[in-house]
Amino acid sequence: MITAILRRAGAGVLVLWAAATAAYLALLAAPGSTVDAIIGDGADTPGIRAQITSEWHLDRPAVVQYLDFLWRAAHGDLGRSYLLQRPVSDVIGSQLLPTVKLAAAAAVFGVLLALVLALVARRLTSTFGLVLVSTPPFLIGIVLLSVFSFRLGWFPVSGDRGFAALVLPAITMGLPIAGTLAQVLRDGLDRALDEPFAVTARARGLRESAVLTRHALKHALLPAVTMLGWSFGVLIGGTVIIEQVFGRPGLGQVTVQAVNASDLPVVLAVVILAAAVFVVINTVTDLAYLLIDPRLRRS
Amino acid sequence: MTIALTRPRTVRLRSLRLARPGVVLAAMFLILALIAAAWPGLFAGDPLRADPLHVLEAPSGTHWFGTDQLGRDVFARVVHGARHSLSISVSATLIAVGSGILLGLLAGLSHKLADEALSRSFDALSAFPLVLLALLFIAIAGTGTTSLIVAIGLSLVPHFARVVRAQTFVVRRAAYVTHAVAFGAPRSRLVLRHVLPNVLGPIPVLAVIGLGEAILLAAGLSFLGMGPQPPSPEWGAMISEGRGYLHIAWWASVLPGLVVTATIISLTVAGRFFQRRFEGRELP
């Protein structure tokens, strides 16, 4: 058990190192020099260039810069934004909360809806899932916005003030998750209901709903846990677009702005942050698997 | 006594008839979309002609999808947009399939350590959000249609590389490959004649489903303003432009969005249909 944990943690560190290195290579590979990117539209004289070069330590050998970059990244210092001239960690830290709130609300809604769908409306799940997974999330958002905000006026049109502003974005992002998760859950339930223990439970005179919730659901949850890593991807990718649709502040907005301005340190920091969350979630999922299913511990 | 080697014809006919209205609808829609991309003029007029007297009009007999903020016919724009959106997604998918096959073969045929490193990175990258990968590329290379195509293509590569690697891994151990080695076939012939053709089996189906993902991603990215710039009628860009007039004219963004959705659903349905065919499973 302990070796399993250590091995997974080690693999996680390796992935992070790879992500950071890839990020560094991306910085090097970007067309145009770093100095040009920092100057942007500002004044451009040899004096300013020399000042930037020494200020950003661009005169040192690439290897030293790389090691320095790794060392600082390990301490949470991801450089300075070219565009905003502020430390990247500040920029991200100040915008983290709205995004986390949105992602958490969407995840809770998605999981609950998936459970309801898989348990109650099992016949509908596959069509529903197909439609939800194939619909661009921003279209769901736009339809919801058009009906509930503009037509009915139940929810605010944009911003992040109070719970009401969270409802529509969370539903928009939660729906695709619910679609896929419900399909996985339903497949698991169908498999579990074919097992001998389901027959036994029925033979004991349990109601179908009790067989479902008390016996089959546990087995169906296992493959659903694997989907956690995937739904994280949907959440991260989703925030970028959904925040734009609903005019919410957050990491997604920061990312889009940074991409448009070629503000690489910010983009790379977002990618590294996503990789870190990704590693943590996958490690936790793997370990949760070991905890939930005793059969896996033996092998 | 004869033994029937093929399934009786009646069964095949019945399964064809049962081929689901969904699959038929999907096929029809895809064919229409292809025709629209090839000859947009066949269905609709000028997508760029502005008409200041008929701005933001609701859908009607003359303007099936209504008009947008400049009085342009939304239906015409959607039809002409098929060419933009489909050519972006198809090119991106081709990039993804081509590089995926190359990288997958490389991983599957190389030694243990290199294979391990490559396939681990495919695994990690294919689980990573596509949007972020694509945005990372765009941040480095700048915005624009070419950059968008390459970005989408590159972010889909890991999916294909993974499958090709897994196939290669199986095929290189097959008896016919061992025999070819024993007969002294040169390495290039081994790869091109024996491994490659047998690795490609699942690729067409995956490419169809991948195309759906490419369309979804392309629409998302051009919704963010990373794609073709206005006034070119691209689906994601139209939805984004219409977003600003949602309070008075829902059709300008919702109807193009529905077309995107219908295309992706059709591709998924078609892909799944071929997949069942390919794996020899009966329709459930």
What is the mean pLDDT of the segment spanning B62-88?
Answer: 84
CB spacing of A130 vs B220 below 8 angstroms: no
Residue B8: helix, strand or coil by DSSP? Answer: coil
Residue B250: helix, strand or coil by DSSP? Answer: coil
CB spacing of B261 vs A139 below 8 angstroms: yes
ipTM of the shown complex: 0.80
At B58 the pLDDT is 76
Contact list in A for residue B141 (CB cut-off 8 A) is 31
Percent of chain B with pLDDT over 70: 91
Backbone angles phi, psi at A101, to 5 degrees: -60, -50
| Burial bucket for residue B11 (CB in 10 Å: 0-12, 13-18, 19+) | exposed
Q: Chain A interface, mutation test: which of B152, B243, B251, most A Cβ atoms within 10 Å?
A: B243
* For B218, nearest residue in chain A (alpha carbons): A136
- Asked whether residue B92 carries a pLDDT value surpassing 90, the answer given is yes
Residue B73: helix, strand or coil by DSSP? Answer: strand
CB spacing of B239 vs A138 below 8 angstroms: yes
Greater model confidence, B15 or B239: B239
DSSP string, chain A: -HHHHHHHHHHHHHHHHHHHHHHHHHHHHSSS-HHHHHHTTS---HHHHHHHHHHTTTTS-HHHHHHHHHHHHHTT---B-TTT-SBHHHHHHHHHHHHHHHHHHHHHHHHHHHHHHHHH-TTTHHHHHHHHHHS-HHHHHHHHIIIIIIIS--S-SSS--TTHHHHHHHHHHHHHHHHHHHHHHHHHHHHHHTSHHHHHHHHTT--HHHIIIIIIHHHHHHHHHHHHHHHHHHHHHHHHHHHHHTT--SHHHHHHHHHHTT-HHHHHHHHHHHHHHHHHHHHHHHHHHHHH-HHHHH-
- Asked whether residue B7 carries a pLDDT value surpassing 70, the answer given is no
Min Cα separation B42/chain A (Å):
27
C-alpha span between B171 and B164 (Å, rounded): 10
Any chain A CB within 8 A of the CB of B219?
yes
Residue of B141, B143, B216 with shortest CB distance to A136:
B216
- Asked whether residue B38 carries a pLDDT value surpassing 60, the answer given is yes
CATH number among 3.90.105.10, 3.30.365.10, 3.90.180.10, 1.10.3720.10, domain A89-296: 1.10.3720.10
CA triplet A105, B222, B68: central angle to 5 degrees? Answer: 100
What is the mean pLDDT of the segment spanning B18-33?
Answer: 81
CB spacing of B129 vs A145 below 8 angstroms: no
Q: Provide the pLDDT confidence category of residue B71 given band limits of 50, 70 and 90.
A: confident
At A1 the pLDDT is 67
C-alpha span between A69 and A56 (Å, rounded): 11
At B119 the pLDDT is 84
Q: Where are the domains of chain A?
A: 2-74, 89-296
C-alpha span between A127 and B149 (Å, rounded): 30
CA triplet A135, A138, A139: central angle to 5 degrees? Answer: 55
The pTM is what? 0.82
At B9 the pLDDT is 45
CB spacing of A234 vs B129 below 8 angstroms: yes
Any chain A CB within 8 A of the CB of B125?
no
Q: Provide the pLDDT confidence category of residue B209 given band limits of 50, 70 and 90.
A: confident
- Asked whether residue B6 carries a pLDDT value surpassing 70, the answer given is no
What is the mean pLDDT of the segment spanning B167-187?
Answer: 87
Contact list in A for residue B219 (CB cut-off 8 A) is 136, 138
Q: Which residue has tokens 């972010």?
A: B155
Min Cα separation B177/chain A (Å):
33
Backbone angles phi, psi at B136, to 5 degrees: -60, -45
Q: Which residues contact A283 (CB under 8 A, 6 or more apart)?
A: A8, A9, A12
At B91 the pLDDT is 96
C-alpha span between A236 and A230 (Å, rounded): 10
Residue B64: helix, strand or coil by DSSP? Answer: coil
At B1 the pLDDT is 45
Percent of chain B with pLDDT over 90: 17
Q: Chain A interface, mutation test: which of B56, B89, B140, B275, most A Cβ atoms within 10 Å?
A: B140
Contact list in B for residue A241 (CB cut-off 8 A) is 131, 220, 223-224
Q: Which of residues 126-145 of B touch A (CB under 8 A)?
A: 127-132, 135-136, 138-143
CB spacing of A142 vs B265 below 8 angstroms: no
At B98 the pLDDT is 95
Mean pLDDT across chain B: 82
pLDDT tens per residue, range B102-130 = 999 999 888 888 888 888 888 878 778 88
The beta-carbon contacts of A120-127 under 8 Å, at least 24 apart in sequence, are: A122/A186, A122/A189, A125/A182, A125/A183, A125/A186, A126/A183, A126/A186
At B88 the pLDDT is 93
Q: Provide the pLDDT confidence category of residue B148 given band limits of 50, 70 and 90.
A: very high
* For B129, nearest residue in chain A (alpha carbons): A233
At B149 the pLDDT is 94
In contact, B144 and A249? CB cutoff 8 Å: no
- Asked whether residue B89 carries a pLDDT value surpassing 90, the answer given is yes
CB spacing of B139 vs A264 below 8 angstroms: yes
Residues of chain A short of pLDDT 50, as ranges, are: none
